[in-house]
Amino acid sequence: MRMQAELPRHVAIIMDGNGRWATERELSRIEGHKNGALAVKKVIEAALEMKIPYITLYAFSSENWSRPKAEVDGLMHLLNQFLKQEQKTFLENQIRLRTIGRLDELPDENCKLIQDTIQKTKQFYRMHVTVALNYSSKNELVDAVKGMLRDAQLGKLNTTSLEYSDIASYLYTKELPDPDLIIRTSGEFRLSNFLLLQSAYAEIYVTPTYWPDFDQTDFQKAIDHYSSRDRRYGNVRPTI
């Protein structure tokens, strides 16, 4: 008998293809990002309906600072707009917002709006939405090691009996389960410095759909695909 996986508890999404979506329509890349923000709303709604408790969205990587200033500024502006408009949705639906990444390097207005929503939603647990902003898995590891060295010096960390779980407790994701499913849109088969450790046993689903076109039906398809996978974790499939 085939072991069927359940619904994923944690879905992490690499929202890619906004630029190509816009270019194909002879629009500016920012128009692509605007339509990408609409797709974010759709996916949060779909996840709520499906009762998927953890969603993590890769919105801005540490490498994305290297893009033209106008695009970076446009993205930060859109993020502010999104936060202003969507705080209501988070409060009404009891969604807790978190971020992962070096938040303090974002513009002040972004930081303030994000901190405000984080504070106002921290008592919620119906659904957890985490936005990866100025995120890099490699930097996350650097920050974790710095934190560990600091605590070791203070005598707060026993370095002789270190386990992976000790290291995980210094990662930005310390309060989150590992992702079960990673979705990447726009047909690229790479992780682009996203949750490299945490996705050690995640199932990966790549769709050619550009992020602005990704909707509830595409999300459902990704979940169905996940549910048909065999997660063996290095073990073998039972023969009966």
- List residues binding ligand IPE (CB under 6 A): 14-20, 58-61, 64, 75, 186, 188, 190, 192, 211
Taking the C-alpha atoms of residue 220 and residue 229, their distance in angstroms, rounded to an integer, is 15
Across 38-164, the runs of DSSP E, i.e. the strands, are: 54-61, 95-100, 127-135
| Least distance in angstroms from the C-beta of 32 to ligand IPE | 6
Give the closest residue to 217 by CA, choosing from 52, 3, 42: 42
Q: Considering only residues 13-72, where is the footprint of Mg ion by CB under 5 A?
A: 16
Catalytically annotated residues? 16, 64
State the binding partner of 11 from ligand IPE, Mg ion, none, CB within 5 to 8 A by kind.
none
| Least distance in angstroms from the C-beta of 238 to ligand IPE | 38
Contact 63, 21 (CB under 8 A): no
Size of the site for Mg ion (CB under 5 A): 1
Instruction: Give 61 or 117: the residue with its C-beta nearer to ligand IPE.
Output: 61
Instruction: Give 59 or 176: the residue with its C-beta nearer to ligand IPE.
Output: 59
Instruction: Give 130 or 148: the residue with its C-beta nearer to ligand IPE.
Output: 130
Query: Residue 97's beta-bridge partner residues?
Result: 129
Taking the C-alpha atoms of residue 62 and residue 129, their distance in angstroms, rounded to an integer, is 20
Q: Please report, as a single letter, which amino acid is at residue 194.
A: F
Residues that bind Mg ion (CB under 5 A): 16
